[in-house]
Amino acid sequence: MALRERILAARGREAPDLVLKHARVVNVLTNEIYPADVAIHEGYVVGIGEYRGPNEIDLAGSHLLPGLIDGHLHVESTMLSAGEFARAVVPHGTTSVVVDPHEIGNVLGAPGIRMLLAATDGLPLNFFVNVPSCVPASEMENGGFVLTASDMEPLLDEPRVVGIAELMNFPGVLAADPTVLAKAELGIRRGVPIDGHAPGVTGKDLCAYVAAGIESDHETTRAEEAEEKLRLGLWLMVREGSTEHNLKELLPVVRRLNARRALFVTDDRAPNDLLDEGHLDHAVRLAIAEGLDPVAAIAMATINPAERFGLKRLGAIVPGYRADLVVADDLQNLRATLVFKDGRIVARDGAPSFRPPRFDYSAALDTVHIGPLDASDLVIPASGARCRVIGVVPRQIITRHLVEEPTVRDGRIVADPARDLLKFAVVERHKATGDVGVGLVKGFGMTAGAIASSVAHDAHNIGVIGADDADMLAAVQAIVEQRGGLAVVRDGAVMARLPLPIGGLMSDLPFEEVAARLEAVEEAASALGCTVWRPFMVLSFLALSVIPALKLTDRGLVDVEAWELVPVGV
């Protein structure tokens, strides 16, 4: 543990490994910024004051802040392998993440989660994991695996596993479903953090959800919701993802209440957004631009997440803490010019200065298996005078539950691009059950063709949206051929594709290439007339049965508020 060496270096009796001279230290514990040298030894900060040593870096008055900690994200949403994920986020100053690997959990179960832990070992990034609590997200969808409380418990013994991931099945909690409560009880019994997910839950129901021992929420979209949740003791995870933009709405509440239990998270962040906008640093910049005090904003990305998860010796620049540090010239427009992990430089001027170890993902490359599929599977028989339609909400992952007049042809409800009514299908892809759910969606704007993806939360069946049934079938077939990923089809031909062979979720390509290819498939979707921002991410959330209001799984349409499967026709 080398405490002796740290003590000697701190006292100036031996030379520290490294001295960062003339820093402006951002102290998130005292809300101060002051000049000092920072001495680092054997990966830890050991001294703050005046230090000298054979290895000095003169920061010349640049700010030094703690490495950023993203308190909630799904690494699979970046579509990157573990090493490429680190290459993507570390240059943005992220040195720790708390990950809920429930996507890989749905596809590959506990072995998939262990694989991810192995794949992230040795990266210049603290990769903490919460054990997924909702695999599957609900009983209204079929994924590759089911994780019960007893499946979850052994995972809590793994190094770097910190707690129980988001209990998304809030209707199950409120109904006191014993299989759901067993997961909360596991967390309470083990004394570990339990994350929540309670979109729109309020009043006595919210009290009940919190009384079950659940401690956080990252699904808050409205200011009054944020206030209520903070008052009831929940950690408010202010989310700024790729399709989830909650920061501007929630920040005034956090400021007014001087909330100690508030932190920034990204939840789901697309690789091209990582490239273009950044990672958690983007949220910090946005908060500062919105008027939050810079030190308070940095606290919400450092010490607050560290405290929320009990991450020891992380989140501040003080002796005895790990030397995970970010150098930035200007706090108003925070950009990491240097990033240190455990006292070593791991990124410089936005570029990684490490090469991640290679990892063998071969156990995860054969996960896409569908049953026989033909045009009959996409039929929606006309029934009732009206029909339910999933309404896309721009920049959010909630949907509207629309009821419209169907366009009927030959006794069947059909896509009607002129009215922006497209068909949406979810095709089971784990066990080749042949199950297919079919519905309608409004808001994509496509006038032709189809887009498909094996990333479709959380069961990650194949989701496909189309103006044309034949193109929808061809798009699904393309996904099967490429063993998962994204595809855009028009007139039977694949216009663009992004293979995601690792669990049908992640690429084995370099970060920059994944981002470029994602741009290409998005452009191909635009060429079909698609008008939504990040269409594949929006598509992926249309299958998530625990986010209001209307969703579609391989089992059919889910009315999330009523918590039941419903027919398309009304």
Nearer to its own copies, 63 or 534 (CB): 63
Task: Output the six-digit token pair for 272.
Answer: 């091209």
Cα(341)–Cα(356) distance, integer angstroms: 14
Q: Whole-number minimum distance, CB 44 to its own copies, in Å?
A: 7
Cα(534)–Cα(539) distance, integer angstroms: 9
Task: Output the six-digit token pair for 276.
Answer: 């273009």
Q: Whole-number minimum distance, CB 342 to its own copies, in Å?
A: 15
Nearer to its own copies, 73 or 323 (CB): 323
Nearer to its own copies, 230 or 539 (CB): 230
Q: Whole-number minimum distance, CB 140 to its own copies, in Å?
A: 21
Q: Whole-number minimum distance, CB 50 to its own copies, in Å?
A: 9
Cα(450)–Cα(318) distance, integer angstroms: 54
Cα(316)–Cα(27) distance, integer angstroms: 7
Nearer to its own copies, 1 or 385 (CB): 1
Nearer to its own copies, 188 or 565 (CB): 188
Cα(134)–Cα(140) distance, integer angstroms: 12
Q: Whole-number minimum distance, CB 48 to its own copies, in Å?
A: 6
Q: Whole-number minimum distance, CB 99 to its own copies, in Å?
A: 20
Which chain residues interact with its own copies by CB under 8 A?
A: 1, 3-4, 6-12, 27, 29-32, 39, 44-49, 173-174, 176, 178, 181, 184-185, 188-189, 191, 203-205, 207-208, 210-215, 227, 230-233, 257-261, 307, 310, 312-313, 316, 318-321
Q: Whole-number minimum distance, CB 19 to its own copies, in Å?
A: 13
Q: Whole-number minimum distance, CB 466 to its own copies, in Å?
A: 42
Nearer to its own copies, 297 or 521 (CB): 297
Q: From the CA atom positions of the chain, what is the Rg in Å?
A: 24
Q: Whole-number minimum distance, CB 529 to its own copies, in Å?
A: 46
Nearer to its own copies, 4 or 355 (CB): 4
Q: Is the peptide bond before 177 cis (omega within 30 degrees of 0)?
A: no
Cα(217)–Cα(237) distance, integer angstroms: 6
Q: Whole-number minimum distance, CB 138 to its own copies, in Å?
A: 18
Cα(71)–Cα(128) distance, integer angstroms: 9
Strands 462-466 vs 550-553: parallel, antiparallel or unpaired: unpaired
Nearer to its own copies, 177 or 512 (CB): 177
Q: Whole-number minimum distance, CB 289 to its own copies, in Å?
A: 23
Cα(6)–Cα(26) distance, integer angstroms: 22
Which residues, at least 6 apart from 205, have a Cβ–Cβ distance to it below 8 Å? 174
- With beta carbons less than 8 A apart as the criterion, state whether 163 and 195 touch: yes
- Burial track 287-307 (b if 16+ CB lie within 10 A, e otherwise): bbeeebebbbbbbbbbbbbbb
Nearer to its own copies, 32 or 349 (CB): 32
Task: Output the six-digit token pair for 44.
Answer: 């830890």
Nearer to its own copies, 44 or 511 (CB): 44
Nearer to its own copies, 47 or 352 (CB): 47
- With beta carbons less than 8 A apart as the criterion, state whether 420 and 402 touch: no
Task: Output the six-digit token pair for 260.
Answer: 């100690």
**Strand order across the 564-566 sheet:** 550-553, 556-559, 564-566
Angle between helices 247-257 and 280-289 (to 10 degrees): 70
Task: Output the six-digit token pair for 483.
Answer: 């063993």
Q: Name which of 524, 411, 437, 423 is nearest 470 in CA terms.
A: 423
